[in-house]
Structure 1
Protein backbone atom coordinates (compact mmCIF):
# COMPACT_ATOMS: atom_id res chain seq x y z
CA UNK A 1 0.00 0.00 0.00
CA UNK A 2 1.34 3.41 -0.94
CA UNK A 3 1.03 6.11 1.72
CA UNK A 4 0.79 9.58 0.16
CA UNK A 5 0.94 12.67 2.39
CA UNK A 6 1.17 15.34 -0.32
CA UNK A 7 -1.44 15.73 -3.04
CA UNK A 8 1.21 17.03 -5.44
CA UNK A 9 2.66 13.51 -5.41
CA UNK A 10 0.18 11.68 -7.65
CA UNK A 11 0.06 8.01 -6.58
CA UNK A 12 -1.17 6.56 -9.89
CA UNK A 13 0.07 8.76 -12.77
CA UNK A 14 -2.00 8.18 -15.88
CA UNK A 15 -4.43 5.81 -14.11
CA UNK A 16 -7.98 6.31 -12.88
CA UNK A 17 -9.10 5.46 -9.36
CA UNK A 18 -12.00 4.23 -7.25
CA UNK A 19 -11.85 5.97 -3.87
CA UNK A 20 -13.48 6.51 -0.52
CA UNK A 21 -13.08 9.34 2.00
CA UNK A 22 -13.24 9.42 5.78
CA UNK A 23 -11.52 9.52 9.15
CA UNK A 24 -11.79 5.73 9.39
CA UNK A 25 -11.12 5.65 13.13
CA UNK A 26 -11.45 2.04 14.26
CA UNK A 27 -11.84 0.62 10.75
CA UNK A 28 -14.97 -1.19 11.94
CA UNK A 29 -17.40 -3.42 10.04
CA UNK A 30 -19.08 -0.48 8.31
CA UNK A 31 -15.73 0.91 7.16
CA UNK A 32 -14.62 -2.53 6.03
CA UNK A 33 -17.76 -2.92 3.92
CA UNK A 34 -17.14 0.39 2.14
CA UNK A 35 -13.46 -0.35 1.49
CA UNK A 36 -14.22 -3.87 0.27
CA UNK A 37 -16.58 -2.31 -2.28
CA UNK A 38 -13.84 0.12 -3.36
CA UNK A 39 -11.35 -2.70 -3.87
CA UNK A 40 -13.89 -4.85 -5.72
CA UNK A 41 -15.01 -2.05 -8.03
CA UNK A 42 -11.40 -1.12 -8.78
CA UNK A 43 -10.54 -4.70 -9.72
CA UNK A 44 -13.68 -5.08 -11.81
CA UNK A 45 -13.02 -1.91 -13.82
CA UNK A 46 -9.23 -2.15 -14.06
CA UNK A 47 -8.66 0.92 -11.89
CA UNK A 48 -6.65 1.63 -8.76
CA UNK A 49 -8.14 1.83 -5.26
CA UNK A 50 -7.50 4.50 -2.63
CA UNK A 51 -8.66 5.75 0.75
CA UNK A 52 -8.51 9.49 1.38
CA UNK A 53 -8.12 10.13 5.10
CA UNK A 54 -6.45 12.57 7.52
CA UNK A 55 -3.44 12.66 9.82
CA UNK A 56 -5.70 13.33 12.81
CA UNK A 57 -9.38 13.14 13.61
CA UNK A 58 -11.02 16.25 12.10
CA UNK A 59 -12.92 16.87 15.34
CA UNK A 60 -9.62 17.74 17.06
CA UNK A 61 -9.60 20.92 14.95
CA UNK A 62 -13.31 21.51 14.32
CA UNK A 63 -14.60 20.91 17.87
CA UNK A 64 -11.63 20.25 20.17
CA UNK A 65 -13.72 20.54 23.32
CA UNK A 66 -15.71 17.44 22.35
CA UNK A 67 -13.28 15.55 20.11
CA UNK A 68 -13.67 11.80 20.64
CA UNK A 69 -10.95 9.54 22.01
CA UNK A 70 -9.39 7.41 19.28
CA UNK A 71 -10.19 3.74 18.72
CA UNK A 72 -7.01 3.31 16.67
CA UNK A 73 -3.80 5.31 16.59
CA UNK A 74 -2.30 6.31 13.24
CA UNK A 75 0.04 3.32 13.06
CA UNK A 76 -2.72 0.79 13.72
CA UNK A 77 -5.06 2.53 11.28
CA UNK A 78 -2.44 2.23 8.53
CA UNK A 79 -1.88 -1.44 9.36
CA UNK A 80 -5.60 -2.14 9.18
CA UNK A 81 -5.97 -0.23 5.90
CA UNK A 82 -3.10 -2.13 4.33
CA UNK A 83 -4.74 -5.43 5.30
CA UNK A 84 -7.82 -4.52 3.22
CA UNK A 85 -5.84 -4.74 -0.02
CA UNK A 86 -6.29 -1.05 -0.86
CA UNK A 87 -3.65 0.31 -3.27
CA UNK A 88 -3.04 3.65 -1.57
CA UNK A 89 -3.86 5.72 1.51
CA UNK A 90 -3.80 9.46 0.86
CA UNK A 91 -3.24 10.93 4.34
CA UNK A 92 -3.95 14.66 4.28
CA UNK A 93 -2.85 17.04 7.05
CA UNK A 94 -5.97 18.29 8.82
CA UNK A 95 -5.48 21.80 10.17
CA UNK A 96 -7.53 24.99 10.41
CA UNK A 97 -7.03 25.73 6.70
CA UNK A 98 -8.21 22.25 5.74
CA UNK A 99 -11.27 22.59 7.95
CA UNK A 100 -12.25 25.74 6.03
CA UNK A 101 -11.74 24.31 2.54
CA UNK A 102 -14.89 24.43 0.43
CA UNK A 103 -16.15 21.03 -0.80
CA UNK A 104 -15.68 22.02 -4.47
CA UNK A 105 -12.05 22.97 -3.85
CA UNK A 106 -11.42 19.67 -2.07
CA UNK A 107 -12.97 17.72 -4.93
CA UNK A 108 -10.88 19.48 -7.55
CA UNK A 109 -7.61 19.37 -5.60
CA UNK A 110 -7.74 15.84 -4.21
CA UNK A 111 -10.26 13.75 -6.09
CA UNK A 112 -9.71 15.12 -9.59
CA UNK A 113 -6.11 16.35 -9.87
CA UNK A 114 -4.43 13.98 -7.43
CA UNK A 115 -6.41 10.79 -7.95
CA UNK A 116 -8.26 11.05 -11.27
CA UNK A 117 -11.32 9.65 -9.52
CA UNK A 118 -13.98 7.84 -11.56
CA UNK A 119 -16.03 6.33 -8.73
CA UNK A 120 -16.52 7.40 -5.09
CA UNK A 121 -17.84 4.86 -2.57
CA UNK A 122 -19.03 6.33 0.74
CA UNK A 123 -21.62 5.72 3.43
CA UNK A 124 -25.07 7.06 2.66
CA UNK A 125 -24.76 9.67 5.46
CA UNK A 126 -21.33 10.95 4.31
CA UNK A 127 -20.47 14.65 4.80
CA UNK A 128 -17.25 16.54 4.16
CA UNK A 129 -15.69 19.98 3.70
CA UNK A 130 -16.27 23.30 5.43
CA UNK A 131 -19.15 23.07 7.92
CA UNK A 132 -19.92 19.59 6.50
CA UNK A 133 -21.38 21.27 3.41
CA UNK A 134 -20.40 18.40 1.13
CA UNK A 135 -22.57 15.29 0.87
CA UNK A 136 -23.56 12.51 -1.55
CA UNK A 137 -25.93 14.79 -3.45
CA UNK A 138 -23.20 17.40 -4.02
CA UNK A 139 -20.71 14.74 -5.13
CA UNK A 140 -23.20 13.44 -7.68
CA UNK A 141 -23.85 16.91 -9.03
CA UNK A 142 -20.16 17.82 -9.32
CA UNK A 143 -19.41 14.38 -10.75
CA UNK A 144 -21.38 15.30 -13.86
CA UNK A 145 -18.75 17.95 -14.60
CA UNK A 146 -15.65 15.97 -13.65
CA UNK A 147 -16.67 12.55 -14.91
CA UNK A 148 -17.02 10.53 -11.73
CA UNK A 149 -19.92 8.59 -10.22
CA UNK A 150 -20.97 8.09 -6.62
CA UNK A 151 -22.01 4.81 -5.02
CA UNK A 152 -23.47 5.33 -1.52
CA UNK A 153 -23.37 2.25 0.71
CA UNK A 154 -26.20 1.52 3.13
CA UNK A 155 -25.02 1.66 6.75
CA UNK A 156 -24.47 -1.73 8.43
CA UNK A 157 -26.92 -2.46 11.29
CA UNK A 158 -25.70 -3.67 14.66
CA UNK A 159 -25.94 -7.41 15.25
CA UNK A 160 -27.63 -7.11 18.67
CA UNK A 161 -30.91 -5.81 17.28
CA UNK A 162 -30.40 -2.22 18.43
CA UNK A 163 -31.86 0.16 15.86
CA UNK A 164 -28.54 1.87 15.18
CA UNK A 165 -25.84 1.32 12.55
CA UNK A 166 -22.32 0.18 13.33
CA UNK A 167 -20.27 3.33 13.95
CA UNK A 168 -17.22 4.58 15.82
CA UNK A 169 -19.60 6.40 18.18
CA UNK A 170 -21.50 3.18 18.96
CA UNK A 171 -18.21 1.39 19.65
CA UNK A 172 -17.05 4.11 22.02
CA UNK A 173 -20.38 3.89 23.82
CA UNK A 174 -20.02 0.11 24.17
CA UNK A 175 -16.50 0.53 25.57
CA UNK A 176 -17.72 3.19 28.02
CA UNK A 177 -20.11 0.57 29.39
CA UNK A 178 -17.41 -2.09 29.58
CA UNK A 179 -19.08 -4.09 26.82
CA UNK A 180 -15.90 -5.11 25.03
CA UNK A 181 -17.69 -8.08 23.50
CA UNK A 182 -20.09 -5.82 21.59
CA UNK A 183 -17.27 -3.46 20.64
CA UNK A 184 -15.33 -6.43 19.28
CA UNK A 185 -18.35 -7.57 17.25
CA UNK A 186 -18.60 -4.16 15.59
CA UNK A 187 -14.83 -3.97 15.03
CA UNK A 188 -14.68 -7.65 13.86
CA UNK A 189 -11.66 -8.06 16.14
CA UNK A 190 -10.92 -7.51 19.85
CA UNK A 191 -10.54 -3.88 20.82
CA UNK A 192 -6.82 -3.11 21.14
CA UNK A 193 -4.97 -0.50 23.19
CA UNK A 194 -1.30 0.23 22.58
CA UNK A 195 1.29 1.72 24.87
CA UNK A 196 4.68 1.37 26.51
CA UNK A 197 5.44 -0.72 29.59
CA UNK A 198 6.66 1.59 32.36
CA UNK A 199 7.80 1.18 35.95
CA UNK A 200 4.95 0.83 38.42
CA UNK A 201 4.83 0.47 42.20
CA UNK A 202 5.38 -3.34 41.83
CA UNK A 203 2.49 -4.01 44.19
CA UNK A 204 1.21 -6.78 41.92
CA UNK A 205 4.52 -8.62 42.19
CA UNK A 206 4.32 -8.48 45.99
CA UNK A 207 0.82 -9.99 45.80
CA UNK A 208 2.04 -12.80 43.54
CA UNK A 209 0.47 -11.29 40.42
CA UNK A 210 3.16 -9.31 38.56
CA UNK A 211 1.71 -6.96 35.97
CA UNK A 212 2.89 -4.94 33.01
CA UNK A 213 1.98 -1.31 33.67
CA UNK A 214 1.08 -0.02 30.20
CA UNK A 215 1.15 3.74 29.65
CA UNK A 216 -1.48 4.53 27.02
CA UNK A 217 -1.60 7.95 25.30
CA UNK A 218 -4.33 10.26 26.64
CA UNK A 219 -5.97 10.45 23.21
CA UNK A 220 -6.71 6.70 23.24
CA UNK A 221 -10.22 5.45 23.99
CA UNK A 222 -10.29 2.82 26.74
CA UNK A 223 -13.03 0.60 28.17
CA UNK A 224 -14.70 1.35 31.48
CA UNK A 225 -12.74 0.64 34.65
CA UNK A 226 -12.90 -3.04 35.47
CA UNK A 227 -11.23 -6.42 35.08
CA UNK A 228 -11.04 -8.09 31.68
CA UNK A 229 -9.66 -11.16 29.95
CA UNK A 230 -7.56 -10.63 26.87
CA UNK A 231 -4.31 -11.07 25.02
CA UNK A 232 -0.97 -9.29 25.30
CA UNK A 233 1.27 -9.03 22.22
CA UNK A 234 4.99 -8.32 22.53
CA UNK A 235 7.11 -6.58 19.85
CA UNK A 236 8.34 -9.97 18.58
CA UNK A 237 4.76 -10.95 17.75
CA UNK A 238 4.33 -13.50 20.54
CA UNK A 239 0.98 -13.33 22.34
CA UNK A 240 0.17 -14.24 25.91
CA UNK A 241 -3.18 -14.72 27.66
CA UNK A 242 -3.72 -12.13 30.34
CA UNK A 243 -6.00 -10.79 33.01
CA UNK A 244 -6.30 -7.01 32.64
CA UNK A 245 -7.05 -4.54 35.38
CA UNK A 246 -8.09 -1.07 34.30
CA UNK A 247 -8.84 1.29 37.13
CA UNK A 248 -7.78 3.31 40.15
CA UNK A 249 -7.06 0.43 42.57
CA UNK A 250 -9.38 1.60 45.37
CA UNK A 251 -8.11 -1.06 47.79
CA UNK A 252 -4.79 0.83 47.98
CA UNK A 253 -5.60 4.38 46.88
CA UNK A 254 -8.44 6.50 48.19
CA UNK A 255 -8.36 9.11 45.43
CA UNK A 256 -6.22 8.15 42.43
CA UNK A 257 -5.99 10.86 39.77
CA UNK A 258 -6.41 8.56 36.78
CA UNK A 259 -6.99 4.96 35.77
CA UNK A 260 -4.07 2.61 35.29
CA UNK A 261 -3.87 -0.19 32.72
CA UNK A 262 -2.16 -3.31 34.08
CA UNK A 263 -1.90 -6.71 32.43
CA UNK A 264 -1.00 -9.90 34.26
CA UNK A 265 0.47 -12.28 31.68
CA UNK A 266 -0.69 -15.74 32.69
CA UNK A 267 2.18 -18.20 33.05
CA UNK A 268 4.80 -15.67 31.93
CA UNK A 269 8.05 -14.77 33.65
CA UNK A 270 10.34 -12.10 32.25
CA UNK A 271 11.15 -8.42 31.94
CA UNK A 272 8.79 -6.29 29.83
CA UNK A 273 9.96 -2.81 30.85
CA UNK A 274 10.34 -0.37 27.98
CA UNK A 275 8.60 -2.62 25.47
CA UNK A 276 5.75 -1.58 23.23
CA UNK A 277 2.63 -3.51 24.22
CA UNK A 278 -0.62 -4.33 22.45
CA UNK A 279 -3.47 -5.20 24.80
CA UNK A 280 -6.56 -6.88 23.29
CA UNK A 281 -9.71 -6.92 25.40
CA UNK A 282 -11.91 -9.96 24.77
CA UNK A 283 -14.18 -10.36 27.81
CA UNK A 284 -15.46 -8.30 30.72
CA UNK A 285 -14.94 -10.17 33.99
CA UNK A 286 -16.13 -7.79 36.71
CA UNK A 287 -16.30 -4.19 37.83
CA UNK A 288 -13.53 -2.70 39.93
CA UNK A 289 -14.24 -2.63 43.67
CA UNK A 290 -12.55 -2.01 46.98
CA UNK A 291 -11.64 -5.08 49.06
CA UNK A 292 -11.55 -5.34 52.86
CA UNK A 293 -7.98 -6.60 52.91
CA UNK A 294 -5.11 -8.23 51.04
CA UNK A 295 -6.37 -11.79 51.53
CA UNK A 296 -9.75 -10.99 49.98
CA UNK A 297 -8.05 -9.22 47.07
CA UNK A 298 -5.65 -12.11 46.40
CA UNK A 299 -8.53 -14.60 46.49
CA UNK A 300 -10.40 -12.52 43.93
CA UNK A 301 -7.29 -12.17 41.72
CA UNK A 302 -6.93 -15.96 41.69
CA UNK A 303 -10.57 -16.26 40.68
CA UNK A 304 -10.08 -13.61 37.96
CA UNK A 305 -7.11 -15.46 36.48
CA UNK A 306 -9.00 -18.77 36.52
CA UNK A 307 -11.98 -17.12 34.83
CA UNK A 308 -9.73 -15.51 32.20
CA UNK A 309 -8.03 -18.85 31.48
CA UNK A 310 -11.41 -20.51 31.03
CA UNK A 311 -12.65 -17.85 28.63
CA UNK A 312 -9.38 -17.75 26.65
CA UNK A 313 -9.13 -21.53 26.43
CA UNK A 314 -5.73 -21.83 28.12
Structure 2
Protein backbone atom coordinates (compact mmCIF):
# COMPACT_ATOMS: atom_id res chain seq x y z
CA UNK A 1 0.00 0.00 0.00
CA UNK A 2 1.34 3.42 -0.94
CA UNK A 3 1.65 5.99 1.85
CA UNK A 4 2.16 8.87 -0.57
CA UNK A 5 0.32 12.00 0.49
CA UNK A 6 -2.46 13.05 -1.91
CA UNK A 7 -0.81 16.43 -2.52
CA UNK A 8 2.47 14.72 -3.43
CA UNK A 9 0.61 12.45 -5.87
CA UNK A 10 -1.00 15.46 -7.56
CA UNK A 11 2.36 17.19 -7.86
CA UNK A 12 4.32 14.15 -9.01
CA UNK A 13 1.85 12.41 -11.35
CA UNK A 14 -0.92 14.76 -12.42
CA UNK A 15 1.12 17.93 -12.72
CA UNK A 16 4.65 16.61 -13.23
CA UNK A 17 4.18 13.52 -15.41
CA UNK A 18 0.83 14.16 -17.11
CA UNK A 19 0.99 17.98 -17.37
CA UNK A 20 -2.70 18.05 -16.46
CA UNK A 21 -4.73 21.09 -17.49
CA UNK A 22 -8.16 19.96 -16.28
CA UNK A 23 -9.40 17.19 -14.01
CA UNK A 24 -13.03 16.04 -14.18
CA UNK A 25 -14.16 14.01 -11.16
CA UNK A 26 -17.27 13.13 -9.21
CA UNK A 27 -18.09 15.63 -6.48
CA UNK A 28 -17.50 12.97 -3.80
CA UNK A 29 -14.20 11.83 -5.35
CA UNK A 30 -11.45 10.76 -2.93
CA UNK A 31 -7.94 9.57 -3.68
CA UNK A 32 -4.56 8.89 -2.16
CA UNK A 33 -3.47 7.47 1.17
CA UNK A 34 -6.47 6.81 3.44
CA UNK A 35 -8.62 8.64 0.86
CA UNK A 36 -7.19 11.90 2.11
CA UNK A 37 -7.41 13.70 -1.24
CA UNK A 38 -10.66 15.24 -2.43
CA UNK A 39 -12.13 17.97 -4.61
CA UNK A 40 -11.26 20.64 -2.04
CA UNK A 41 -7.57 19.67 -2.17
CA UNK A 42 -7.56 19.68 -5.96
CA UNK A 43 -9.10 23.15 -5.99
CA UNK A 44 -6.58 24.34 -3.41
CA UNK A 45 -3.70 23.18 -5.61
CA UNK A 46 -5.18 24.21 -8.95
CA UNK A 47 -4.23 27.90 -9.03
CA UNK A 48 -0.56 27.42 -8.24
CA UNK A 49 -0.27 24.55 -10.72
CA UNK A 50 -2.36 26.02 -13.54
CA UNK A 51 -5.12 23.42 -13.89
CA UNK A 52 -8.89 23.50 -13.59
CA UNK A 53 -11.12 21.28 -11.45
CA UNK A 54 -14.55 20.29 -12.77
CA UNK A 55 -16.56 18.25 -10.25
CA UNK A 56 -19.65 16.50 -11.61
CA UNK A 57 -22.71 14.95 -10.04
CA UNK A 58 -23.84 11.96 -12.08
CA UNK A 59 -27.62 11.55 -12.03
CA UNK A 60 -29.73 8.58 -13.10
CA UNK A 61 -33.47 9.10 -13.53
CA UNK A 62 -36.10 6.40 -13.07
CA UNK A 63 -39.84 6.66 -12.45
CA UNK A 64 -39.58 10.43 -12.30
CA UNK A 65 -36.97 10.35 -9.52
CA UNK A 66 -33.39 11.56 -9.81
CA UNK A 67 -30.70 9.69 -7.88
CA UNK A 68 -26.99 10.41 -7.64
CA UNK A 69 -24.98 7.61 -9.20
CA UNK A 70 -22.64 5.88 -6.75
CA UNK A 71 -21.31 2.41 -6.10
CA UNK A 72 -23.54 2.29 -3.02
CA UNK A 73 -26.66 3.10 -5.05
CA UNK A 74 -25.73 0.47 -7.65
CA UNK A 75 -25.16 -2.21 -5.00
CA UNK A 76 -28.46 -1.27 -3.37
CA UNK A 77 -30.30 -1.74 -6.66
CA UNK A 78 -28.64 -5.12 -7.24
CA UNK A 79 -29.35 -6.33 -3.71
CA UNK A 80 -33.03 -5.65 -4.42
CA UNK A 81 -32.92 -7.46 -7.77
CA UNK A 82 -33.44 -4.20 -9.68
CA UNK A 83 -31.01 -4.93 -12.50
CA UNK A 84 -32.77 -2.46 -14.79
CA UNK A 85 -32.09 0.38 -12.35
CA UNK A 86 -28.50 -0.77 -11.95
CA UNK A 87 -28.10 -0.70 -15.73
CA UNK A 88 -29.38 2.88 -15.89
CA UNK A 89 -26.70 3.96 -13.43
CA UNK A 90 -23.91 1.87 -14.96
CA UNK A 91 -24.74 2.81 -18.54
CA UNK A 92 -24.72 -0.90 -19.41
CA UNK A 93 -26.19 -4.14 -18.09
CA UNK A 94 -24.62 -5.45 -14.90
CA UNK A 95 -22.33 -8.35 -15.73
CA UNK A 96 -20.58 -11.12 -13.83
CA UNK A 97 -18.05 -13.67 -15.02
CA UNK A 98 -17.53 -17.24 -13.97
CA UNK A 99 -16.61 -20.75 -14.99
CA UNK A 100 -19.02 -23.61 -15.68
CA UNK A 101 -18.54 -26.38 -13.12
CA UNK A 102 -20.01 -29.84 -12.65
CA UNK A 103 -23.49 -29.81 -11.12
CA UNK A 104 -26.00 -32.40 -9.96
CA UNK A 105 -27.76 -32.46 -13.36
CA UNK A 106 -31.21 -32.02 -11.79
CA UNK A 107 -32.18 -29.51 -14.45
CA UNK A 108 -31.40 -31.98 -17.21
CA UNK A 109 -33.56 -34.68 -15.62
CA UNK A 110 -36.64 -32.42 -15.73
CA UNK A 111 -36.00 -31.11 -19.24
CA UNK A 112 -34.27 -27.82 -18.43
CA UNK A 113 -30.48 -28.33 -18.50
CA UNK A 114 -28.51 -25.60 -16.78
CA UNK A 115 -24.89 -24.55 -16.58
CA UNK A 116 -23.73 -24.17 -12.99
CA UNK A 117 -21.51 -21.09 -12.94
CA UNK A 118 -18.90 -20.58 -10.24
CA UNK A 119 -18.72 -16.81 -9.86
CA UNK A 120 -15.79 -15.05 -8.20
CA UNK A 121 -16.77 -14.14 -4.63
CA UNK A 122 -15.58 -10.56 -5.17
CA UNK A 123 -18.26 -9.93 -7.80
CA UNK A 124 -21.66 -8.52 -6.89
CA UNK A 125 -24.50 -10.92 -7.68
CA UNK A 126 -28.05 -9.59 -7.84
CA UNK A 127 -30.61 -10.77 -5.28
CA UNK A 128 -31.79 -14.37 -5.38
CA UNK A 129 -34.38 -14.87 -8.11
CA UNK A 130 -34.91 -15.55 -11.79
CA UNK A 131 -33.61 -13.18 -14.48
CA UNK A 132 -33.61 -12.76 -18.24
CA UNK A 133 -30.01 -12.42 -19.36
CA UNK A 134 -27.56 -12.62 -22.20
CA UNK A 135 -24.67 -15.05 -21.84
CA UNK A 136 -21.39 -14.83 -23.75
CA UNK A 137 -19.73 -18.25 -23.94
CA UNK A 138 -16.12 -19.23 -24.62
CA UNK A 139 -16.27 -18.87 -28.41
CA UNK A 140 -17.57 -15.31 -28.08
CA UNK A 141 -21.13 -16.07 -29.18
CA UNK A 142 -24.06 -14.49 -27.32
CA UNK A 143 -27.10 -16.47 -26.19
CA UNK A 144 -30.39 -15.55 -24.54
CA UNK A 145 -30.82 -17.21 -21.16
CA UNK A 146 -32.97 -17.63 -18.09
CA UNK A 147 -30.84 -17.33 -14.97
CA UNK A 148 -31.63 -18.62 -11.50
CA UNK A 149 -29.72 -17.35 -8.48
CA UNK A 150 -30.53 -19.02 -5.21
CA UNK A 151 -30.44 -22.00 -2.90
CA UNK A 152 -32.92 -24.19 -4.83
CA UNK A 153 -35.32 -24.79 -1.91
CA UNK A 154 -37.44 -27.28 -3.89
CA UNK A 155 -34.51 -29.72 -3.74
CA UNK A 156 -32.44 -28.55 -0.77
CA UNK A 157 -33.79 -27.56 2.64
CA UNK A 158 -30.63 -26.07 4.12
CA UNK A 159 -28.30 -24.97 1.32
CA UNK A 160 -25.76 -22.52 2.74
CA UNK A 161 -24.88 -20.55 -0.37
CA UNK A 162 -26.66 -19.17 -3.40
CA UNK A 163 -25.53 -20.47 -6.77
CA UNK A 164 -25.98 -19.22 -10.31
CA UNK A 165 -27.55 -21.53 -12.89
CA UNK A 166 -27.92 -20.53 -16.54
CA UNK A 167 -30.39 -22.15 -18.93
CA UNK A 168 -29.35 -21.04 -22.42
CA UNK A 169 -32.33 -20.86 -24.75
CA UNK A 170 -32.13 -22.98 -27.91
CA UNK A 171 -28.64 -24.25 -27.05
CA UNK A 172 -27.44 -27.83 -26.72
CA UNK A 173 -23.63 -27.67 -26.58
CA UNK A 174 -21.25 -28.69 -23.81
CA UNK A 175 -20.21 -25.78 -21.60
CA UNK A 176 -18.20 -27.53 -18.88
CA UNK A 177 -15.01 -25.68 -18.04
CA UNK A 178 -15.87 -22.67 -20.19
CA UNK A 179 -15.63 -19.10 -18.95
CA UNK A 180 -18.97 -17.28 -19.26
CA UNK A 181 -20.10 -13.67 -19.02
CA UNK A 182 -23.63 -13.21 -17.72
CA UNK A 183 -25.30 -9.87 -18.49
CA UNK A 184 -28.50 -9.32 -16.48
CA UNK A 185 -31.35 -7.69 -18.41
CA UNK A 186 -34.58 -8.12 -16.44
CA UNK A 187 -35.75 -9.46 -13.08
CA UNK A 188 -38.55 -11.98 -13.61
CA UNK A 189 -39.49 -13.29 -10.15
CA UNK A 190 -38.16 -14.16 -6.73
CA UNK A 191 -37.00 -17.63 -5.78
CA UNK A 192 -39.64 -19.90 -4.27
CA UNK A 193 -40.15 -23.46 -3.14
CA UNK A 194 -42.48 -25.63 -5.24
CA UNK A 195 -44.70 -28.47 -4.08
CA UNK A 196 -43.28 -30.87 -6.64
CA UNK A 197 -41.50 -31.39 -9.95
CA UNK A 198 -44.60 -30.82 -12.09
CA UNK A 199 -45.27 -27.43 -10.51
CA UNK A 200 -41.60 -26.49 -10.90
CA UNK A 201 -41.55 -27.59 -14.54
CA UNK A 202 -44.63 -25.49 -15.33
CA UNK A 203 -43.05 -22.44 -13.69
CA UNK A 204 -39.80 -22.93 -15.61
CA UNK A 205 -41.74 -22.99 -18.87
CA UNK A 206 -43.34 -19.70 -17.86
CA UNK A 207 -39.96 -18.24 -16.87
CA UNK A 208 -38.49 -19.11 -20.26
CA UNK A 209 -41.43 -17.53 -22.08
CA UNK A 210 -40.98 -14.35 -20.03
CA UNK A 211 -37.24 -14.35 -20.68
CA UNK A 212 -37.81 -14.61 -24.42
CA UNK A 213 -40.21 -11.67 -24.29
CA UNK A 214 -37.81 -9.55 -22.23
CA UNK A 215 -34.90 -10.26 -24.57
CA UNK A 216 -36.61 -9.51 -27.88
Q: TM-score range by the shorter chain?
A: over 0.9
Structure 2 equivalent of residue 127 of structure 1: 30
Match of 2:97 in 1: 194
Q: Which moved more, 1:124-133 or 1:219-228?
A: 124-133
From 112, 136, 139, give the equivalent of 1:233.
Answer: 136
Counterpart position of 1:91? none
C-alpha separation in 2, matches of 1:112 and 1:165: 30
1:158 and 1:166 in contact (8 A); partners too:
no
* CA displacement 1:231-260 (0-9 Å, x = unmatched): 111122211111100000001111111111
Superposition TM-score, scaled by structure 1 size: 0.66
Aligned to 2:210: 307
Q: Which of the numbers 50, 56, 74 marks the counterpart of 1:147? A: 50
Higher strand fraction (1 or 2): 2
Distance 2:62 2:210 in 1: 26
SS in 1 for 2:7: helix
Instruction: State the partner residue of 1:220.
Output: 123
Q: Are residues 1:263 and 2:188 paired?
A: no
1:176 aligns with 2:79: yes
Q: Is the partner of 2:181 in helix, strand or coil? A: strand
In 2, Cα distance between equivalents of 1:157 and 1:276: 32
1:207 corresponding residue in structure 2: 110
Q: Deviations over 1:133-167 (max 9, x none)?
A: 32222212212222222122233243334453022
Structure 1, unmatched stretches of 5+, are 1-94
Query: Following the alignment from structure 1 to structure 2, what is the Cα–Cα distance between the partners of residues 241 and 106?
Result: 46
Give, in whole Å, the separation in 1 of the partners of 2:36 and 2:215: 47
What secondary structure is seen at the aligned counterpart in 2 of 1:117?
Answer: coil
* Structure 1 CA distance for aligned equivalents of residues 59 and 94 of structure 2: 19
Distance 1:170 1:199 in 2: 34
User: TM-score with structure 2 length normalisation?
Assistant: 0.94
Relative to structure 1, the CA distance from residue 287 to residue 154 in structure 2 (aligned partners, 3 Å threshold; closer, same or farther) is closer
Distance in 2 between the 1:146 and 1:165 partners? 30
Greater relative contact order (Cα < 8 A, sep 6+): 2
Unmatched segments (≥5 aa) in structure 2: none
Q: 1:112 aligns with which of 9, 15, 18?
A: 15
